[in-house]
Amino acid sequence: MNTFLDNQKWRYATKKFDSSKKISNADLDTLKEAIRLSSSSYGLQLYKVIVVDNPEIRAQLQPAAWGQSQITEASHLFVFANQTTVGSEDIEGYLKNAEQTRNLPEGAMNAYGDFMKGGLLNLTDDAKKIWTAKQTYLALANLLNAAAELQIDTTPMEGFDPTQFNTILGLDKLNLNAAVVAAVGYRHEEDATQHYTKVRKSNEDLFITL
């Protein structure tokens, strides 16, 4: 646990990446697996994660992110895109996957499926979008933590225009919406931010024990 906390103290929202350094395929696979294993309400994972390596696409995205250099300088750009709709087919797909993964007979999880449908399918369209967008942040947290363990730098970003990202990446055609972005790579030695002391609330200010 001490190593984990040390790595949390090491990580920061990197302002300037070293564009000459690329994440290895092995480490990239580890980051993807950390995202895949992330917690998700009901286990549904109603989002996609677009890993943008192509420099031309990232150059198109940069103006839609207020010109922030991390978009183009980082090794990779992770775009977490939530589903804009939730239907019975999403739940049925999960049930089939779960039954096959756990070697259960077909229909063994129907009661759980009915429970999920009762809770989700009756939500308004706006409520569904808000709920699926929140789910992406759980996956984002796993990415940030896994990257810190690998001494890979990250910058979580909400400073972008989702509508433009959706158009450039073709997400709107897939019923997806860019919810949050993470630039991932290695800090530049000239990034002064890495030397700043981390500022966080004290335990007394942050926690309430009842």
Total number of domains constituting the chain: 2
Short-list 32, 14, 52, 40, CA closest to 146: 32
Residue spans of alpha helices (H) in the chain? 2-10, 25-36, 55-61, 70-73, 88-101, 110-120, 125-149, 162-169, 203-206
Mean pLDDT of the region 55-74? 98
In angstroms, the CA 109 to CA 42 distance is: 12
Torsion-angle region of residue 170: left (phi > 0), alpha (psi -120 to 50) or beta? left
> Considering the domain boundaries, does residue 196 fall inside one?
no
Give a yes or no: residue 201 inside a domain.
Answer: no
Are 108 and 132 in a shared domain? no
Does 208 map to a domain? no
Same domain, 80 and 95: no
* pLDDT at residue 186 greater than cutoff 90: yes
Average pLDDT over residues 161-184: 98
pLDDT given for residue 2 in this prediction: 83
Q: How confident is the model at residue 56 (pLDDT cuts 50, 70, 90)?
A: very high
Measured distance CA(60)–CA(54) in Å, rounded: 10
Q: Is residue 6, in this structure, part of any structural domain at all? A: yes
Q: In terms of domains, do 141 and 95 share one?
A: no
In a shared domain, residues 132 and 71: yes
pLDDT of residue 74: 98
Residue type, 86: V
Q: Are residues 78 and 28 in the same domain?
A: yes
Convert the pLDDT of each residue in 1-28 to its tens digit: 689 999 999 999 999 999 999 999 999 9
CA torsion sign for 152, 156, 161, 162 is positive
Mean pLDDT, to the nearest integer, of 74-87?
98
Residue 100 domain boundaries: 87-122
Cα 200 to Cα 2, 16, 127: the distances in Å are 18, 22, 32
Phi–psi pair at 161, nearest 5 degrees: -95, 105
Whether residue 206 has pLDDT greater than 70: yes
- pTM for this entry: 0.96
Query: What confidence tens digit (pLDDT) does each residue in 114-157 have?
Result: 999 999 999 999 999 999 999 999 999 999 999 999 999 999 99
Residues 147 and 184 in one domain: yes
Cα 166-168-174 angle, rounded to 5 deg: 45
97 neighbors 40 (Cβ within 8 angstroms): no
Q: Which residue bears the tokens 């096959």? A: 100
Distance CA 39, CA 126 (A): 23
Q: Are residues 128 and 117 in the same domain?
A: no
